[in-house]
Every structure is written in structure tokens, then in C-alpha cells.
Amino acid sequence: MSSPVESLVNREYKWGFVTDIEADSVPKGLSEDTIRLISAKKHEPAFMLDWRLKAYRGWLKMSEPHWPNVSYPIIDYQNIIYYSAPKTLKPLGSLEEADPKLLETYQKLGIPLTEQKILAGVAVDAIFDSVSVGTSYKKQLGQLGIIFCSFSEAVQEHPDLVQKYLGSVVPASDNFFAALNSAVFTDGSFVYVPKGVRCPMDLSTYFRINAQNTGQFERTLIIADEGAQVSYLEGCTAPKRDENQLHAAVVELVALEGATIKYSTVQNWYAGDEEGKGGIYNFVTKRGKASRGAKISWTQVETGSAITWKYPSVILQGDDSVGEFYSVAVVNGRQQADTGTKMIHMGRNTRSTIVSKGISAGRGNNSYRGLVKVLPKADGARNYTQCDSMLIGNRCGANTFPYIDVQNPSASVEHEASTSKIGEDQIFYCKQRGLNTENAISMIVNGFCKEVFKELPMEFAVEAQKLLGVSLEGSVG
């Protein structure tokens, strides 16, 4: 049957290119020596090396999880370069001193690590491969006592904070990929907002994977002290390449009493070609721990990666704490996503909200996997889950795996789910009004995702809508 909701024309990854910069890499493969080398290159204190080695020894005893509803070839962990840094490691006074090629790369990506962006009021800590190359606005933030820096820098400058909180939410032994990350992570972002301080701007980091065959293992740690508030934006694109790339990040959020952390992600890593070859494997552990009266909110727009395995979660430890998860996950081509959240209700009167929008096009496969767990002491816990799937075409798939485990009779847990299909009639209706197919789909899909987009910071929401349009270009035609 030939119809608009049929043929699939994949378009070139718009941001696909490889920058030719000499990388300072350690040899391929993973061993205690590799880890010692990484730690030494980064001049880490002894506690870090011990922590890494312990994680590594734990990892050796673990096996790769195969319960997600995704499939991929076996990953050879000895065929990965675990450390790679652009050669300019000496701290730079200003952007002008940075490698022009690096800057060019950022420009191609449209990463606003520029004066305009700084003037726009966003402090940027851009990660190029594994080492941060530029931070801004640090001074202004510093006056409020806010620390926003690369993880490496935090290890040097604030080892006490790192030692206290690293692994406090996602222990090194948590899961296979988290253990691997703990052993070999090279950099990431670190944020600390002191007691009662409200961070005056959205903090943002752009991640990027570049050197060939380099696994990217970032570590992000955000601590909001009592009554503090912070909004953090994470956005990603990656260059095109032929071999699959492993990406196993860990993000830990610590919201102390009465604190609020809002973490927003727009993820657009290379998803592979029409056959799914060459895309990023994104195996991420993201989790937050909310103390009494604290609030942690995850918002994510996932459009990239060949495989996404990701469950941003909240441990609602303190009484009256709040957890939120708003997600849009798009799969097109041969992409596979198994994503969702875990809300663990431990404290009394804890509340959580889950809104998940899965969009499947092409031959993509999209699974929502969520856990709502109410422990015996969580009197009056409440959860609301809404889980909607949209299908474009008839070769894609959508699955929902909601797990609900309630151990307290006073809890209230609601779950709503729907599956819809963008119909020919819907598209025809829009076309009859003068819109072309791509605009029609973009409009219908954006309408479907509205509840999630309204949770994103304004400028991010605009980017996300554009990205969604680009991601689905050619999905119907």
C-alpha cells in the first residue's frame, strides 16, 4: 500500500562531522593500570583512585544487563579508549586562546559558547570529549557561593564536597554501567548551590562526543543545599561516525531539605544511518535524592542515539518531598529506546508525577518502563502517571512496562495510558489547509508533547520543538 504514512526517507544527520584534533588518548582497553593512568593524568587525590578501583573490581563481577527491550551487538569493553582529551590542557584565560578548530566545531553545532550567549545570561560549561574547555560566569556565581565547574576541577578545588556526595545517590555498585562509569569517568559537571541561595540563571552544559572510539563517561553531581534552588540544562549533539559509541553517564542530584532541582535535557546524539549503523549507545544512570520538602524535577526530550537506556529517577526520602518526570522520547529509523523513570516513595506525604510521551516512527521501537514504589512508611504517598504513545507509520513499535509496587495502604497511585496513531486523515486535514506533510506531522507531534514542553525553560522548549521537527523529517512522505 502506498500512502503518506508509509515510505521512509532518512535524512543525513545535520550535525554529523568529525573534528580533526590531535587527541591525547590512553591505549585501548580497561585494566587497573588504565584506571591508575586516568587518575594520575587528572592529578586526583588518593580517595578518588581508591573509589575508582573499588568500582572497577565491583564491575568485573557484574554482567551487562539484558532486560531492556533493545538489541545490539556485543560490546567489546577492551576495544574502547577510556581517556581522550584535546591537547590544549593548560587552562585558558579566554575563548580566543582555545583551539580554533574546537571553536569551529562549536559554531557548526550552534553551541552558543560565545559572547552573545554569555550576554544572554547563560553560564556555559562545554564538554569536548572528556575535558572541559571553557567556563563562564563563574565569577558572578561565585559571589553567591555557587560552584559551577567541571568535575575535574571540583575534585581539585572542592574535594571535601566531592568525597561527601559522590556516589551518595548512585553508588558505584548500583548497576553495570554505573560501575563502569565510576571506574573510568573522565569529566563532567559539578554544581553546588549553598543554603538558601536561588541560582539566578539556568546552568547549562553541552556535551559532545568526538574522538574516534572513545567511550564517553561523564559524571555530573549537583547539590542543592537546604532551601536552595537550581535549574540545570543539558543539551547534546554528536558528530557522525561509523562505529557505535558507548556512552555511559551518571548524573546524581542531591536536594537537601526544602531544596529544588530542575534538570532538563535535550538529547540529540547521532542515531545511526538508515540501517541503524554507527549510532550512539546511551546507557545512562540518572537519579536524585530528595530530602524533606525537597523537589526534584526531570524533563527530557530524547530524540537521538541508536539505543537509549535511561531512567531518571527520584528517591523521595524525606517527608513531603516531590518528584517529577516529564519525558518525550522519539524514535525514528532503527532507533531503540527503553526509557522511563523510578519514583521511590519512602517519606510520608511524598508526591510524584510522571508524564511520558513516546513517539515511534520508521522502524523505531519505543518502550516506556517505569516503577512506582511506595514503601511501608510512606503514609499518604501519591503518584499520578500518564503514559501516551504515538505511532507514525506501521513498521514501528511502542511498549509500556509499568511496574507498581505499593506497600502502604494509604497510598494513592493512578496510571493512565493511551496509544494513538497519526492517521492519514489527520495529515490530509492539515494538508488540505495548506500545510505540507512535514509541518503537519511536526504540528501534530508537538501538540501531543505539549504537556512536557511546557515544563522546559522557554528557550529550550523552542529548541526542542525544532528538534522534534528535524527528527521526524522524512518519517512520512
Partner 1 sequence: MLQIKGLRASVGENEILRGIDLAVKPGEIHAIMGPNGSGKSTLAQVLAGHPAYTVTAGSVRLEGEDLLELEPEERAQAGVFLAFQYPVEIAGVTNAYFLRAAYNALRKARGQEELDPIDFLDLLEEKLKVVGWESEIMQRAVNSGFSGGEKKRNEILQMAVLEPKLAILDETDSGLDIDALRIVADGVNALRRPDRATILVTHYQRLLNFIVPDFVHVLVEGQIVKSGGKELALELEARGYEWLTGVPEAAPA
Strands (E), 291-375: 295-302, 307-310, 313-316, 322-331, 336-345, 351-360, 365-374
Kindly write out the interface string for residues 4-43 of this chain, putting x where it contacts partner 1 by CB under 8 A and - elsewhere. x---------------------------------------
Q: Which of 184, 449, 468, 476 binds partner 1 (CB under 8 A)?
A: 449
Stretch binding partner 1 (CB under 8 A), from 116-124, 233-241, 376-384, 428-436: 428-436
| Residue closer to partner 1, measured from CB, 403 or 429 | 429
Q: How far is the CB of 393 from partner 1 (least distance, A)?
A: 14
Kindly write out the interface string for residues 284-323 of this chain, putting x where it contacts partner 1 by CB under 8 A and - elsewhere. ----------------------------------------
Q: Which residues pair with 24 in a beta bridge?
A: 85
Q: Are strands 313-316 and 336-345 parallel, antiparallel or unpaired?
A: parallel
CB 231 within 8 A of CB 203: yes
Q: Which of 140, 410, 451, 466 binds partner 1 (CB under 8 A)?
A: 451
DSSP label at residue 247? E
Phi-psi region of 36 (alpha: psi -120 to 50; beta: other; left: phi over 0): alpha
Q: Which of 37, 103, 443, 470 binds partner 1 (CB under 8 A)?
A: 443
Q: How far is the CB of 424 from partner 1 (least distance, A)?
A: 6
Q: Which of 411, 444, 456, 476 binds partner 1 (CB under 8 A)?
A: 444
Helix (H, G, I), strand (E, B) or coil at 101: helix
Q: Which of 93, 100, 409, 434 binds partner 1 (CB under 8 A)?
A: 434
| Residue closer to partner 1, measured from CB, 66 or 433 | 433
Kindly write out the interface string for residues 204-243 of this chain, putting x where it contacts partner 1 by CB under 8 A and - elsewhere. ----------------------------------------
Q: Which of 64, 274, 429, 462 binds partner 1 (CB under 8 A)?
A: 429
Q: Which of 75, 408, 431, 457 binds partner 1 (CB under 8 A)?
A: 431
Q: Which of 77, 138, 446, 470 binds partner 1 (CB under 8 A)?
A: 446
Euclidean distance between CA atoms 74 and 64, whole angstroms: 10
Q: Which residues pair with 132 in a beta bridge?
A: 127
CB atoms within 10 A of CB 418: 10
Distances (CA, A) of 371 to 168, 287, 314, 385, 403: 21, 13, 11, 10, 5
Euclidean distance between CA atoms 390 and 184, whole angstroms: 38
Stretch binding partner 1 (CB under 8 A), from 43-51, 82-90, 213-221, 441-449: 441-449
Q: How far is the CB of 437 from partner 1 (least distance, A)?
A: 8
Residues 386-425 that bind partner 1 (CB under 8 A): 423-425
Helix (H, G, I), strand (E, B) or coil at 186: coil
CB atoms within 10 A of CB 107: 12
Residues in the interface with partner 1 (CB under 8 A) total: 25
Angle, helix 176-184 to helix 32-41, in steps of 10 degrees: 50
Give the DSSP per-residue string, 38-78: HHHHTT--HHHHHHHHHHHHHHHT------SS---PPP-GG
CB 422 within 8 A of CB 390: yes
Which stretches of the chain bind partner 1, using CB under 8 A? 3-4, 423-426, 428-437, 439, 443-444, 446-451
